Amino acid sequence: MSTVTAERTSAERGGSARERLLQAADELFYAEGINTVGIDRVIEHAGVAKASLYSAFGSKDGLIRAYLEHRHQLRVARIQRHLAKHADPKARMLAVFDSFDELINGPKWRGCPFIAATGEARTDATVNEVAGVTRDFTRQCFIDEATTLGLQDPAALADQLVLLYDGAVVAAHVQRDRAAASRARGMAELVIDSAPR
């Protein structure tokens, strides 16, 4: 799709100026990076006035925050959908890996937006804060289920599972390994089964 066609398509989607800006930022930042894409490009892609961006987000930093928070909300919803399929705590812990497997094997996967943004921003407080919230959410999912399972040290198990999850994310992101989540899930099952009760 050409840039002109992409811009026209985004503008024709409708919605408020804020929604259109966020959708344009989501498309462009995810495809090309938060530093590469300038504000003027997002505004043109969204088909809105420049003042709309400042009114809705205050700055590019505010738009980046909104983009990453939107990506976080998508992750939360996807994980919760997979958790809801199971009642057993062990199955629910493994479902976190299933949710990631679904994502990386879907047609829109282009890498982890949080790794990409963190790599670009390095010490940027906004990016690191939202990425941290996302990582903490995943860890808390593991803690909650490990606690329900009655394990001796739910936090220690959660740390191990987050390490496996993070490894799968990196392998899928850097190596384009579409089997990373399923392999990490297998290792996670062994870790859960060997955790002290």
Residues 25 and 117 in one domain: no
The answer to whether 183 and 149 are in contact (CB under 8 A) is: no
Kindly report, residue by residue over 86-124, the tens digit of the pLDDT: 999 999 999 999 999 999 999 999 999 999 999 887 667
Residues 8 and 87 in one domain: no
Q: Which CA distances in Å does 29 have to 3, 85, 109?
A: 14, 32, 13
User: Residue 46 sits in a domain of what CATH number?
Assistant: 1.10.10.60
Kindly report, residue by residue over 107-116, the tens digit of the pLDDT: 999 999 999 9
The residue from 32, 58, 84 where one domain ends is 58
Residues 147 and 74 in one domain: yes
- DSSP three-state, residue 88: coil
Residues 10 and 32 in one domain: yes
Residues 71 and 110 in one domain: yes
The residue from 42, 58, 74 where one domain ends is 58
Residues 34 and 118 in one domain: no
**DSSP one-letter code for 86:** -
pLDDT the model gives residue 1: 37
Residues 44 and 117 in one domain: no
Q: pLDDT category, 12, cuts 50, 70, 90?
A: low
In the chain, the largest separation of any two C-alpha atoms, in whole Å, equals 59
Q: Given a cut of 50, is residue 126 above it in pLDDT? A: yes
Q: Would the pTM count as exceeding 0.85?
A: yes
User: Residue 168 sits in a domain of what CATH number?
Assistant: 1.10.357.10
Residues 16 and 31 in one domain: yes
Structural domain count of the chain: 2
The residue from 58, 77, 100 where one domain ends is 58
Residues 79 and 30 in one domain: no
Residue-number span of the structural domain to which 52 is assigned: 3-58
- Rounded Cα distance, 122 and 23, in Å: 24
